Amino acid sequence: MLLRRVTSLVNSIVLRLGYVERWLFISTITAIAASLAIGVFYWMLKDIVALSAQLHGILLHRALTDYSLIAIHSRKKFLIPLVLLIGAAASSFIVYTFEPEAEGAGAESVIEAYHFKAGTLRGRIAAIKTIASALVLGTGGSAGPEGPAIQIGGSVGSFTATSLHLGIEERRIALIAGAAAALSFIFQSPVGAAIFATELLYEDVLEAAALPPALLASTIAYALSLHILGPEYKLPSLHIANIISLYSLGALGSYIVLGLIEAFFAFVFVKFFFTAKRWFNNIIERRNLSIYLKPIIGASIVGVIGIFVPAILGTGEELLSDLLSAFSHGREVQELIGMHYNLLVILLVLAIMKIIATSLTVGSGLSGGLLTPSLFIGAMVGQFVGVTLGRYLGVQAVIYAYIGMASLAGAAYKAPIGLAFFVAEIAGTPALIVPALIASLTSAIATRGVTFATAALKKPLPPTVFTAESLLQMLRSGEIGRINVTILSLVKRFTPVNWHATLRDAAKIMVQTGQKIIPIVDDNNRVVGVLDPAYVGLDLGYMMRSSQAVIEVSLINAPIVRENDPFIRVLEEMVAHGVDYVIVVDRSYRYRGVIVFEDVAQALMPYIAAGIPEKAEASERASEVAGR
């Protein structure tokens, strides 16, 4: 009860704040909670990596989050498949027993929640994914930590908005602010993370309305990351000997060439990932195997590959940091990764095998992200191009490795602008922004239509979608199309009160349950009205002191629908009464429950998202024809 009172007080304060102050408050809460949660995730990951090191007989002198460094130096490489199988089996059991939606990559669930679930992302999914991902990554699964981190941040933002009783549009924005905070915390890139999170939602544009809150959240998370993970956690900063050489005509042309080469590898990565995903699903379906075996099959294959190329296991974060440092200082990398071949051969092998290992890991249902592997692959391909072309242009080869990260990841996620700023911040120099933009835009254009973010829409939905009037108009005109939503599927069991109860009794129920309204019923449980304090101008403090009967101040002409009415009646009653709820009754007018507008909008969101972009494109084409 105390928590509800505090939440109600905070909500009333937030509603009185201006735009900047309001979102600074929301973003701060979201960033702090997300950062602490991700800090716990990294603590779990480090412990599991340390346990894996003990199994290999290695004593760690520093906390690691990257299993590949253990696998490379292990003298018991035959244990690699066994360790990974243990992690995969534990992860598979947890995911498919408690939350099957937590399988695979994590960014997709945030995009789906934004477009199709009115910004609602259950915290349960993020919690399960945190544990499952720590098990997979800590035992050698080839994937990134940003997948669970984005889900953690997104769920925190969604929960914060829901707790403050914010509307659908604001909850969707809070969801993205949380995701941006998570990325910024991991990679210590406040601007790039915010742009990436808003750019990820659509193929062609970014969500401008979410950018300021995302920037606020990611900046705060960046500051917290410096204290929790340390200022040296990110990839090594890049020292550019001759900045002018970056902008010569030859160098600018080479970035386009780099973008085209990275586009090819991005195309292969995305296609191979979805092919692997279908392959694993087909095996389970055709052979009628338990879904628990799917990740175990994937882990078995990756474990065998890891015996021969251990550098492609784990998150690859710390190994990538060591490789970039070696590239910058001209050191040999053969001893670093345990491969004694020509450098160009090593770079290609690492890029190709990382594509295969990551696709098999995440494609089989094991929990982890795809962004960090994309950065790793992009850096290897970029260094290959840099060693080949850089010497003729007077540009350091390692610069192409950094630009390559932005180029491949930007193409794979169709977020070229965010990734360009992302890499420039990681490298510690704004001089990389233009070269990274050239390469990433080139690769994104060259791979148009090919992306990991399959839930992204082509264009934003109109803001008018989120009103009862506009949804009613869409239903009546047939714009949404055939829907399978019923009244009973959305009913919530709000606690009613008898018509002889007092306002004090009703106020206590509202405080205990968090309800904004109270259905009023007679002695036979028939609905006779609804108490809506906001509608009639009642103050909660006055209600707590009043002994007046609720029936005297309730709305007798309440918005009511019967359980067997057509769904469109729900919106018609909301619009007719100017409220965001309806009372559901049976044929005898006995109380069944309440439907709120937020749930209606969330239920219709998939149908709207499926139809609006195509209609918008058809309208644009018609306008172009008319203009000609």
Q: What is the CATH number of the domain that holds 558?
A: 3.10.580.10
Residues 517 and 589 in one domain: yes
Residues 106 and 181 in one domain: yes
Q: Find the angle CA(173)-CA(147)-CA(345) to the nearest 5 degrees.
A: 135
Give residue 42's identity as a one-letter amino acid code.
Y
Tokens of 625: 């024809």
- Quote the pLDDT of residue 596: 86
Contact 156, 175 (CB under 8 A): no
Residues 398 and 476 in one domain: no
Cβ neighbours around 588 below 10 Å, total:
9
- Quote the pLDDT of residue 622: 37
Burial class of residue 545 (count of CB atoms within 10 Å of its CB; 0-12, 13-18, 19+): exposed
Q: Please give the Cα distance from 353 to 376 (Å, whole number).
A: 11
Residues 35 and 174 in one domain: yes
Give residue 419's identity as a one-letter amino acid code.
L
Number of domains the chain contains: 3
Q: Which helix (H) or strand (E) holds 528?
A: strand 527-531
CATH code of the domain covering residue 342 = 1.10.3080.10
- Give 37-76 pLDDT, tens digit per residue: 888 888 899 999 999 999 988 877 777 888 999 999 888 8
Domain containing 503 equals 463-603
**Sign of the Cα pseudo-torsion (337, 182, 415, 216, in order):** negative
The candidate with the shortest Cα–Cα distance to 223, out of 275, 185, 267, 259, is: 185
Residues 164 and 277 in one domain: no
Residues 430 and 363 in one domain: yes
Q: Please give the Cα distance from 458 to 614 (Å, whole number).
A: 9
Residue 616 lies in a domain: no
Residue 456 lies in a domain: no
Residue 520 lies in a domain: yes
Q: Please give the Cα distance from 433 to 431 (Å, whole number).
A: 6
The candidate with the shortest Cα–Cα distance to 184, out of 201, 197, 169, 166, is: 197
Tokens of 445: 């254009």
- Give 310-348 pLDDT, tens digit per residue: 999 999 888 998 899 888 887 887 777 877 788 899 999
Q: Please give the Cα distance from 194 to 415 (Å, whole number).
A: 11
Half-sphere exposure of 181 (CA within 13 A, CB side): 37
Percentages helix, strand, coil for the chain (3-state, rounded to 5) are 70, 5, 25
Q: Please give the Cα distance from 253 to 7 (Å, whole number).
A: 56
Residues 82 and 123 in one domain: yes
Residues 420 and 499 in one domain: no
Residue 52 lies in a domain: yes
Helix axes 371-393, 397-413, angle to 10 degrees: 140
Residue 487 lies in a domain: yes
Residues 215 and 254 in one domain: no
Residues 7 and 150 in one domain: yes
**Separation of CA 334 from chain center:** 36
Strand order in the sheet with 497-498: 497-498, 518-521, 527-531
- Quote the pLDDT of residue 472: 80
Residues 15 and 146 in one domain: yes
Residue 235 lies in a domain: no
3 state DSSP class of 319: helix
Residue carrying the six token digits 């092998």: 349
Q: Report residues of the chain scoring pLDDT below 50.
A: 612-628
- Quote the pLDDT of residue 626: 38
Burial class of residue 345 (count of CB atoms within 10 Å of its CB; 0-12, 13-18, 19+): exposed
Cβ neighbours around 463 below 10 Å, total:
10
Q: Please give the Cα distance from 178 to 171 (Å, whole number).
A: 10
Residue 457 lies in a domain: no
Looking at 193, 228, 263, the residue that finishes a domain is 228
Residues 224 and 247 in one domain: no
